[in-house]
Amino acid sequence: MDPYRVWLSEIMLQQTTVAAVIPYFQRFTALWPDVRALAEAPQETVLAEWAGLGYYARARNLHACAKTVQQDHGGIFPQSEAALLALPGIGAYTAAAIAAIAFDQPAAVLDGNVERVLSRVFDVQAPLPGSKPQLRALCRAATPQQRPGDFAQAMMDLGATLCAPNRPDCLLCPLSAICLGRARGTAADLPRKAPKPERPHRHTIAFLLRRPDGALYFRRRPEKGLLGGMLEVPSTDWRDAAWTEKAALPHAPHKAAWRMLPGEAEHVFTHFSLSIRAMLADIDAKHAARLNGEWLQPGEAKIPTVFKKMLRLLG
């Protein structure tokens, strides 16, 4: 199997559903059919095409990895797990998946679906993530020398279908005869998970600066940090305390007659949630030309979902 497509799909599928990934995968492979084409693409273009898929560090690492494969490996992915792990953005799971599926190496591919299958088959009672080392050892012991890529994909498919969360279909499962979780009546409760800490909540006010032609002002975020390198709607810091209009105004990208818009939006990140309010100001073309950034019609901007929610406050 083409290692480029295996790698691309695995990166996109990290914490993202197959349904969400399919149109992005199709668009990426149409625009950049091989690793060389992706490596030669401008990073801004790659980030723009990724907009809406979330977890944007993946896009930056994707581009960096393509450049490394092109520059250091002649455009050919290395076959060993160790060499794959040395590439930007490739962790233990992705390295094992590429090694097994693309190169038929006997690597232990352990994603969330496989963790669920193994937890049930071996009745692993220790909660995740603490049980990961045990599950990895079980996966390594179960992985065959012959057709390890097929085995990995079969285990992932089993976990995504018959051995699904909440309602495992044990009657149809090919592993039901050896499944300790089924025999002991614990399958539906596995894998156990440690309680998650409460997600912090933050606040921001977005600044929607509008030209006479309806275009809005966007700027690019710093390369490092959350949503690094992406186009953004200017806003205040994302902080714990709610912002007042007076406190927010010094953070505006331009001095203007700002007015608060009605309504509020909510966005949930992995580690915190965000309440968004917005202020609007109009600017003439002469002053707009002096600002560093990009002016785009609201429907043209390829931006992360959190910034799309800011634009929706325009009504």
Q: Which of 21, 9, 10, 7 is nearest to 53 (CA)?
A: 21
As annotated, the active-site residues are 10
Q: Which of 66, 116, 112 is nearest to 89 (CA)?
A: 66
Alpha-carbon distance 153 to 148, whole Å? Answer: 9
Token pair of 58, please? Answer: 């993946």
Q: How would DSSP label each residue in the chain?
A: --HHHHHHHHHHTTTS-HHHHHHHHHHHHHH--SHHHHHHS-HHHHHHHHTTS--THHHHHHHHHHHHHHHHSTT----SHHHHHTSTT--HHHHHHIIIIIH--------HHHHHHHHHHTT--SPBTTTHHHHHHHHHHH--SSSHHHHHHHHHHHHHTTT-SS---TTT-TTGGG-HHHHHT-GGG-S-BPPPPPPPEEEEEEEEEE-TTS-EEEEEPPSSSTTTT-EE--B---BSSPPPHHHHGGG-SS-S--EEPS--EEEE-SS-EEEEEEEEEE--HHHHTTSSSEEE-TTT----HHHHHHHHTT-
